[in-house]
Amino acid sequence: MKKMALALGLSVAFSSLNALAIYKGNPVLKNDLIERATFQLVLTDAQIPTLKLPSCTATLISPTVLLTAGHCFGHKKNITYKIAYTNAKGMKVQVPVVKVVIHEGFSEHTVEGFGELVQNDIALVKIANPVTGAIPAQLPSKNWRPQKNQEVLVAGYGVNGHQMTAEEIKESPEGKALIEKSKAHPPKTEAEMLDFVAALMSLTEAKPLLWTKSKASVVERTSWALPMMLLSKGDSVCSGDSGGPSYIRSSSSGLIVVGVHSTTTNGDCVDTRPNWWSSSQAKGYDTLVPLYLDWIRTNIAALSR
């Protein structure tokens, strides 16, 4: 089996800038439930405050708590996080993350014959205030499991292969602001130049929210690792989609989040072999949410106090 890679790690963020996002992904329609429950997780390094690097995806499951992957937080201590979204007026908004709770059993290590084995890859983040217009996704029942090849909706803010052109940068509000700032206060020191380059990189690699349909099944692992949910037939997740949701739709309760994107057979999504992506080799693996309902509910209650 090919060694699996985390669907996102900061260590691969810069090496995978030309990767695809949700494979064959579709833009999310305005005010669709996916848009109103799925958010981008952005990190900032205190040493380079203008670098706001999109890192993972998260799912709103209460007014101020989001569900994501544990491996999204393996960074140094001077990193802060926010969730990002575009509001009804088309403005980009960020809300600070005030607390992160990673599952106490989370671990990641390489096992010969299995590749990168990740356990309990799940986390919760609490944000400073509710998001106007957001609609939290519902949690599944404890006994929910996908039937073999059951259809699910996968979503994420992974890198999408598009880098903004110089013209697009000049026309974007963020680009105009960056250009005006550099004209008024041209970078003179090395630190100022690094800040400018970091801000430019963050701008040019903007990642849209994409979704697609996938086929899900339960995959058993070892006697000491919980089952995961397999996303197959080429509809895989890539760098930046980590922590994002696999949804099912309910006519009565809207979106139900049943999986959290964890690992993939090709985290950078750059394999160019003919038909590789449509083959059974392209797979994603989700943390199966029903197995963690007690943990999720206990920690939502604690975070809401």
* Rounded (5°) CA angle 201-204-209: 115
pLDDT tens digits, 62-75 = 999 999 999 999 76
Whether 276 has a pLDDT exceeding 50, the answer reads no
* Cα gap 179→268, rounded to integer Å: 31
**211 bridge partner residues:** 26, 155
Q: Which of 20-34, 72-86, 105-119, 248-262 has the lowest mean pLDDT?
A: 105-119
Return the pLDDT at 202: 61
* Cα gap 122→145, rounded to integer Å: 18
CATH of 5-163+205-303, one of 3.40.50.720, 3.10.250.10, 2.40.10.10, 1.10.8.60: 2.40.10.10
pLDDT tens digits, 235-252 = 567 777 889 999 999 988
Whether 220 has a pLDDT exceeding 50, the answer reads yes
Q: Higher-confidence residue: 203 or 85?
A: 85
Whether 117 has a pLDDT exceeding 90, the answer reads no
pLDDT tens digits, 13-34 = 322 222 334 655 778 888 899 9
Q: Predicted confidence band at 263 (pLDDT cuts at 50, 70, 90)?
A: confident
Return the pLDDT at 16: 28
Domain spans, the chain: 5-163+205-303, 164-204
Chain centroid to CA 78: 21
Q: What is the reported pTM?
A: 0.78
Q: What is the mean pLDDT of the chain?
A: 79
